[in-house]
Amino acid sequence: MTNQLVMYEEELQQINTVCDQLQRDSNAQAVLVIDKNGQPIATAGDVESLDVTSLSSLTAGNVAATGGIASLLAEKEFAGQFHEGEKTNVHISIVGSRVILVVLFDQRSSLGLVRLRVKRASVELTRILDDLVRKSQSASAPSILAEITDDDIENLFND
Partner 1 sequence: MSFINYAQREINCKIVYYGPGLCGKTTNLQYIYNKTNPEAKGKMISLATETERTLFFDFLPLSLGEIRGFRTRFHLYTVPGQVFYDASRKLILKGVDGVVFVADSQIERMEANIESFENLRDNLQEQGYSLDKIPYVVQYNKRDLPNAAPTTELEEVCNPKRVVSFEAVATKGVGVFDTLKAVAKLVLTELKRGG
Q: Least Å distance between CB 108 and partner 1? A: 28
Three-state secondary structure call for residue 2: coil
Nearer CB in complex with partner 1: 8/120:
8
Pairing of strands 99-105, 80-84: unpaired
Q: Least Å distance between CB 60 and partner 1? A: 9
Residue 5 binding partner 1, by CB under 8 A: yes
Please check whether residue 95 is in contact with residue 125, taking contact to mean a CB–CB distance below 8 angstroms.
yes
Nearer CB in complex with partner 1: 11/105:
11
Count residues contacting partner 1 (CB under 8 A)? Answer: 40
| Stretch binding partner 1 (CB under 8 A), from 21-29, 87-95, 106-114, 139-147 | 139-147
Please check whether residue 122 is in contact with residue 95, taking contact to mean a CB–CB distance below 8 angstroms.
yes
Burial profile 130-143: b = 16 or more Cβ within 10 angstroms, e = fewer: eebeeeeeeeeeee
What part of residues 16-75 is at the interface with partner 1 (CB under 8 A)? 35-39, 41, 51, 53-54, 57-58, 61, 64-65, 67-68
95 burial (CB, 10 Å; 0-12 / 13-18 / 19+) is: buried
User: Cβ–Cβ contacts within 10 Å for residue 147, how many?
Assistant: 8
Which parts of this chain interact with partner 1 (CB under 8 A)? Answer: 1, 3-9, 11-13, 35-39, 41, 51, 53-54, 57-58, 61, 64-65, 67-68, 142-148, 150, 152-154, 156-157
